[in-house]
Structure 1
Amino acid sequence: MNHPATPQEQDYPLSAVPLEARKSLASMGLVLLGFTFFTATMWAGGSVGTAFDFQTMLLVLLIGNLLLGTYAAILAFIAARTGLNTALMSRFAFGQVGSKLSDFILGFTQIGWYAWGTATMAILLVKMTGLSQAWEMPLMVVFGFGFCISAFIGYRGLEWLSRFAVPAMIILIAVSMTIATNDGGGLAGLSAIVPSEDMSMAAAITLVFGTFVSGGTQATNWTRFARSGKAAVVATLAAFFIGNGLMTLVGAFGALVYQQADIVDILVAQGLATLGILMLFLNLWTTQDNTVYNFAVAGCNMFRTRRRKLVTVVGAGVGTLLAVLGMYEWLIPFLILLGTFIPPVGGVIMANYFVAWRARYPDLETASLPAFNLPGLAAYGLGSLAAYTSPWIAPVVGVVAAALAFALIHVATVAVKERRAEMMKPV
């Protein structure tokens, strides 16, 4: 039975969200859009834009974002039905102690994103205003702790910030794409542009999928507040297919025209330096607070503490340190890492929910769960290995391989247990 939340645990870090605390579709959609409107997604799109012609680029973005949206929507449906986030669902999939593996993986990736966003904002401000480079490190510290304020407040803080930032980012996207279209000579001119870089379609789709697969895996932190599975799916597809798709498209569009993946240089070339600073600040803030919030939720589950606000500040400190140490330069390798090792977590959770628990978890607080759920851990290992060695789209391979591995192991385990029980019966 879930006890009432105190002010310190108002976002239910260690329990299911009760029905009376659920949010509207509009509220949840705004928060998720604020999360997916992320500058790093534009960078990933920029890398795709320099490697393909216009038609192929659109196809890559469509496939990558559709796969990402579908993956996140399935997890969102489970979260809405159960009221649980990914960290808590991991207890069923990996065990009470085994779930700390996913806490570590997801928490590490989120704090890596936080570090990258913090460093990016400081570097952007210095580059676009002409300040001395000596300002970069102090600004990283200011932004590193400043960005976590709304996450410290909780869901309400994230929602209010998104109300301002999402419309602002939509305006920037519209203006930037209009200028890029004109500079590229319209649709005819865009179709004639020859790419300057080389990348396989599989690698490009992996990049698009991997850019936000960590966020998609942990979007359950908000979709668990949905009033129905349908509302969760609609909000998630709007954010991860349409919202994330727009961000990759504007980055790819600009890179195709200007043949460079750096969104800052593109905005400067378009004469949007001043507007770009304001919009990108809001854009980064709405993702940064969601990111450090994700870290806090994973941390609460790992250490079994309800002190979410304290874990939020600790996460901001770790992220700031990584930013100072140079996280800005590690983006592409980081994305490839995410696309390989994060999706199998979601694959195991999906299979565990639908196959092992038949789409109905027992009450988390009274459920008798093992310390380690070996089928879940083994399936995660097999899914990660399949993704790492796959020449095809690694994230998709990881999800499917982990889900199939868990289903097969679970069915085989149940069959063996039933057989042993049959043999133990007295004749």
Structure 2
Amino acid sequence: MATQDTDFDWRTVVFGDEDLPDPDWPVDHVPKSERKGLVSISAVLLGFVFFAGTMWAGAEVGAAMGFGPMLAAMGVGYAILGVYVAALCAIAAKAGLTTVLLARYTFGRLGAKWADLLLGGTQVGWFGVTIPMIAIPMATFLGLDTPMFVSVLIVVWGVLHLATAYFGYDGMERLSYVAVPALVIVGLLSIGIAVSDVGGVGGLLAATGGSEMAFGAAVTIVVGTFISGGTQAPNWARFASSKRVGFWAGLVAFLVGNGFLFISGAVGGSVYDVSPAGDLYAVLTAQGLAFIGLVGLMFNIWTTNDNAAYAFGVAGSEAFDFDRKRPFVLVGGAVGILLALAGVDSLLIPWLSTLGQYVPPIGGVLIADFLVVWGLTRIPRMDDVSFAGVRWVSVLAYAGGCLVAVLTAGSVIPGVAAPQLIPGIASLNGIVAAGVLHVVGYYALERSGVLPGHTVATDADYV
């Protein structure tokens, strides 16, 4: 009698079936046959932006300014964020490439490695920081909030967060179809109860802030809620069927979706005295909906963290020019889980916040490069481009954008005050400065032959 081969094949687990292409195309253009529509792309991006940190930011601004002024600051901030991300998403949809592969066009084959390190590395850290946000409340809800049980939940949730990223876009899409409607329902339910408790919309709008916060500072917080994450939105928007679908999916997620979460946090923070302010679970517990709060928080964290895992997976693929993302998802996830178990979230959050000054200028250079240099009508396929090792025009523009962002922020060290030498919003100033410097440098130095650029084959195929 024949026996069935039941040997465990670790290579298939780590790499996937090597006889088949990676269905997420981590180091290549997404084929037209694999593209998705507006509903699919919007669902995945909405799942990405539905994050508890956005609610906390809304509560902070609402408590400081009052609900009415907060709405004005939110409108300006999310208009900036939405247009920025939507532009990146349109570029990604046309090229069918991740952020780090777009960076290969902009910064060169070696220059793109910095984008891999910065974008992938920060997401590994964020993955570790975020897991306890569900593990600790769940342990508290179950009445088992011991260090050992919290550690067990950190491992369990870390593995679950990796699971949907491990299976790629399809896994995240299916989770988002369940999570996004559930989170919208939970948010609307919470807002409705809060408005009723405060005496109606009039009572909410009459609430005044408890401290001084300048309008510009409030806009900075609004933009900062997801501008670093937004720079990685091309990782999913590249599956869009057209530039138009990519643009609108990015705008819906980062303008409407993020705005909804921000308002939810602001309402909860204005009405209920909870700690930490705007915490979805704490607010819903105060409303007598502790279980619903836990379920909402579960989806909230999961849909953001699997995107983080996916981001460091594709960054690793580009860094090592390897056509499989799974090994990097697993290794990065293991590091993130270890960071969570070590309890370093209190140290990483200020660091990741500071990196918000260094990530957005990457997007500024990418947008300028693909609008001015490459255009959005004829982007050559990667196989037909002889990439320079380092494209110095872009690297110098990026460095200039970072310098402007740092001088605007006033400090490069969290918690250490320094004078603000340039007025405005650090992330926005960094994006604009990097883009302008790139355009000027391209025409002044690269087009004139002073600095080298890429070489495109005369018979190149264009996407």
Q: Does 1:111 align with 2:143?
A: no
Q: Does 1:266 align with 2:283?
A: yes
The offset of 1:414, in angstroms, is: 3.7
8 Å CA contact 1:180–1:253 kept in 2: the answer is yes
- Following superposition of structure 1 onto structure 2, how do residues 207-356 of structure 1 map, counting pairs within 5 Å? 207-260=221-274, 261-263=277-279, 264-329=281-346, 333-334=350-351, 336-356=353-373
User: Which stretch shifts more, 330-339 or 297-306?
Assistant: 330-339
8 Å CA contact 2:129–2:349 kept in 1: the answer is no
> Does the C-alpha gap of structure 1 residues 89 and 48 become closer, same or farther in structure 2, counting only changes over 3 Å?
same
- Following superposition of structure 1 onto structure 2, how do residues 106-255 of structure 1 map, counting pairs within 5 Å? 106-134=119-147, 135-255=149-269
> Does the C-alpha gap of structure 1 residues 330 and 47 become closer, same or farther in structure 2, counting only changes over 3 Å?
farther
Secondary structure, counterpart of 2:150 in structure 1: helix
Secondary structure, counterpart of 1:194 in structure 2: coil
Indicate the structure whose relative CO is greater, using CA pairs within 8 Å and at least 6 residues apart. Answer: 1
Secondary structure, counterpart of 2:384 in structure 1: coil
The offset of 1:334, in angstroms, is: 4.6
Letter in 1 for 2:433: A
Hey, what does 2:425 align to over in structure 1?
393
Q: Does 1:60 align with 2:73?
A: yes
- Partner deviation per Cα, 1:107-145 (whole Å, 9 max, x = no partner): 122222212221111112123333223222221111112
> Does the C-alpha gap of structure 1 residues 293 and 6 become closer, same or farther in structure 2, counting only changes over 3 Å?
farther
- Following superposition of structure 1 onto structure 2, how do residues 14-53 of structure 1 map, counting pairs within 5 Å? 14-53=27-66
Give distance in 2, aligned partners of 1:27 and 1:125.
30
Structure 2 unmatched runs, 5+: 1-17, 409-422, 452-463
Hey, what does 2:103 align to over in structure 1?
90
- Partner deviation per Cα, 1:203-231 (whole Å, 9 max, x = no partner): 32222222211221111111111111111
Give distance in 1, aligned partners of 2:244 and 2:345.
37
Hey, what does 2:412 align to over in structure 1?
none
Residues matched between the structures, number: 415
Hey, what does 1:364 align to over in structure 2?
382
Letter in 2 for 1:371: G
User: Which stretch shifts more, 222-231 or 329-338?
Assistant: 329-338
Letter in 2 for 1:298: A
Letter in 1 for 2:92: A
* Bigger helix fraction: 1
8 Å CA contact 1:119–1:327 kept in 2: the answer is no
Give distance in 2, aligned partners of 1:418 and 1:370.
14
User: Which stretch shifts more, 395-404 or 142-151?
Assistant: 142-151
The offset of 1:373, in angstroms, is: 0.7
Letter in 2 for 1:21: E
Secondary structure, counterpart of 1:107 in structure 2: helix
Structure 1 runs of 4+ aligned residues shifted over 6 Å read none
Give distance in 1, aligned partners of 2:404 and 2:137.
38
The offset of 1:417, in angstroms, is: 2.5
Give distance in 1, aligned partners of 2:254 and 2:42.
10
The offset of 1:48, in angstroms, is: 1.5
> Does the C-alpha gap of structure 1 residues 241 and 302 become closer, same or farther in structure 2, counting only changes over 3 Å?
same
Q: Does 1:383 align with 2:401?
A: yes
Give distance in 2, aligned partners of 1:122 and 1:197.
32
Hey, what does 2:457 align to over in structure 1?
none
TM-score by length of structure 1 reads: 0.93
- Partner deviation per Cα, 1:216-250 (whole Å, 9 max, x = no partner): 11111111111111111111111111011111110
Give distance in 1, aligned partners of 2:434 and 2:263.
30
> Does the C-alpha gap of structure 1 residues 251 and 244 become closer, same or farther in structure 2, counting only changes over 3 Å?
same
Hey, what does 1:13 align to over in structure 2?
26
> Does the C-alpha gap of structure 1 residues 417 and 251 become closer, same or farther in structure 2, counting only changes over 3 Å?
same
Give distance in 2, aligned partners of 1:415 and 1:8.
38
Hey, what does 1:425 align to over in structure 2?
none
- Partner deviation per Cα, 1:268-289 (whole Å, 9 max, x = no partner): 2111211111121122111111
Give distance in 2, aligned partners of 1:25 and 1:34.
14
> Does the C-alpha gap of structure 1 residues 393 and 6 become closer, same or farther in structure 2, counting only changes over 3 Å?
farther
Letter in 2 for 1:363: R
Secondary structure, counterpart of 1:417 in structure 2: coil
Letter in 1 for 2:284: L
Give distance in 1, aligned partners of 2:400 and 2:134.
38
Give distance in 2, aligned partners of 1:335 and 1:60.
23
